[in-house]
Amino acid sequence: MMTSHTSPVDIEQAMPLAEMSVAQIAALPPAQLQEAHTNLLTLQSLVKGVLDRFHAALDQRYAEQAVAVRQASGKDFGVCHLSDGPLRITVDVPKKVVWDQPQLAEIAQRIAAAGDKVGDYIDTDYSISETRFNAWPAPLKETFAKARTVKPGKTSYRIALVQEHHE
């Protein structure tokens, strides 16, 4: 199998990994570990691309019908069910609300100026960029350090086979 990037994918080599334990995978020889990782990343990319096209095809086929069904029930968002021959298609359009931050800041100032508690109306999540924090002078950093917790993010790995050169 070839991806759109013309790199070969050895599905037969990647599939046995599904049956292996974590310990078995960890015990693979380095070259096999690197090859398996490369194959899995390529397969992941390939599957993502195919799924994106597949969902676009579902949109092309069912979106108008789903909109009509939701409109008939007075909804812009949510779940609706369609029929296509023997298939029952469930279409879910979740509601995603995005608030205009500068406008909310102005409203928060008006609420505070009126003597009300902003927290009764608006959830506030404070953050400071790490770049900005690291640029601060030490006394300012110390002021904020008590409110700062550093947690590890999700670990990622890149594996490259290093070619040994023998002369």
Domain boundaries, the chain: 11-93, 101-145
| Average pLDDT, consecutive stretches of 10 residues, N- to C-terminus, the chain (167 residues) | 51 80 94 90 94 95 95 94 93 92 94 95 92 95 93 80 67
Q: State whether residue 142 is helix, strand or coil.
A: helix
Rounded Cα distance between 69 and 67, Å, is 5
Please, which residues bridge with residue 92 across strands? Answer: 79
73 to each of 58, 61, 70, 76, how far by Cα in Å? Answer: 21, 20, 5, 9
Global pTM value? 0.66
